[in-house]
């Protein structure tokens, strides 16, 4: 997606894309980080925060999952935090009946400064503290968000998983040299699939995100990619492929630390 500051417009576009994926046969769909809101003022982002027990964005995700009979990883949305002046960057997951099955709050907060380009998520976001994984018809799924991708210890803490879902909004500057490299590394070292839906393009506020949404297999092969723009990237998850890779190269059994 290339989300903007209008929540209603972003939900409409997300609904269209989810419908496109479901019509094509997708059973698990994931949205990018900040899919309902990018480029708004800090005040507008705080105003859009939802409580843990519901809100319009959560109702959209639950209802859309139920409508299409899919499992839906809801990218991330702004949630209330313990600090009243901040928000949690939260990913909710819903099953095919629209029931919430997981919540993950982004742990690692992005900071970057080079020339006139500067980001510091600690100013407005409160970090999460718990790693999250859950069982599904697609195997055991682990969650992470964007900048978390740079911290392999988080993924080791998840234990053995079959699929990592990593909604993101990588910047163009950092994404070009690092995004694919890191995604493929996480797939190879954890011998699992990686599903990484990403914001990709120039947003209304001028921000440029790298895109390149990908599905990567346990051997590090990129199975699907969407460079920039609104659209769908899809691939098949084969649990037998995971077993094959782990049997031929049992690296997960060889861990010492």
Q: What is the set of active-site residues?
A: 33, 106, 146
Closest of 227, 101, 228, 246 to residue 187, by C-alpha: 246
Closest of 103, 108, 38 to residue 74, by C-alpha: 103
Query: Vertex 164, ends 55 and 61: CA angle to 5°?
Result: 20
Cα–Cα distance for residue pair 179/166, rounded to 1 Å: 11
Query: Vertex 145, ends 144 and 148: CA angle to 5°?
Result: 75
Cα–Cα distance for residue pair 78/2, rounded to 1 Å: 17
- At 169, list the tokens: 């909004």
Backbone region of residue 206 per phi and psi (left: phi > 0; alpha: psi in -120 to 50; beta: other values): left
| Burial class of residue 170, CB neighbours in 10 A (0-12, 13-18, 19+) | buried
Cα–Cα distance for residue pair 18/31, rounded to 1 Å: 8
């Amino acid at each position: 997606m290339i989300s903007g500051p209008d929540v209603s417009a972003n939900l409409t576009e997300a609904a269209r894309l989810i419908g496109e994926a479901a019509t094509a046969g997708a059973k698990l769909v994931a949205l990018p980080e900040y899919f309902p809101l990018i480029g708004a003022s800090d005040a507008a982002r705080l105003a859009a925060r939802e409580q843990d027990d519901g809100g319009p964005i959560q109702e959209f995700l639950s209802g859309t999952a139920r409508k299409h009979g899919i499992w839906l990883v809801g990218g991330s949305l702004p949630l209330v935090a313990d600090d009243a002046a901040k928000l949690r960057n939260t990913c909710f997951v819903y099953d095919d009946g629209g029931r919430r099955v997981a919540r993950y709050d982004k742990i690692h907060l992005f900071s970057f400064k080079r020339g006139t380009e500067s980001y510091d998520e600690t100013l407005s976001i409160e970090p999460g503290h718990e790693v999250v994984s859950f069982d599904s018809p697609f195997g055991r799924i682990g969650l992470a968000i964007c900048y978390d991708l740079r911290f392999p210890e988080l993924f080791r803490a998840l234990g053995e998983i079959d699929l990592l879902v990593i909604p993101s909004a990588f910047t163009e500057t950092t994404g070009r040299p690092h995004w694919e490299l890191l995604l493929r590394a996480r797939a190879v070292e954890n011998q699992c699939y990686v599903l990484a839906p990403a914001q990709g393009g120039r947003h209304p506020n001028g921000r440029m995100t790298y895109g390149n949404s990908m599905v990567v297999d346990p051997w590090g092969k990129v199975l699907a990619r969407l460079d920039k723009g609104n659209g769908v990237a899809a691939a098949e998850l084969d649990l037998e492929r995971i077993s094959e890779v782990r049997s031929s190269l049992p690296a997960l059994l060889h861990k010492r630390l």
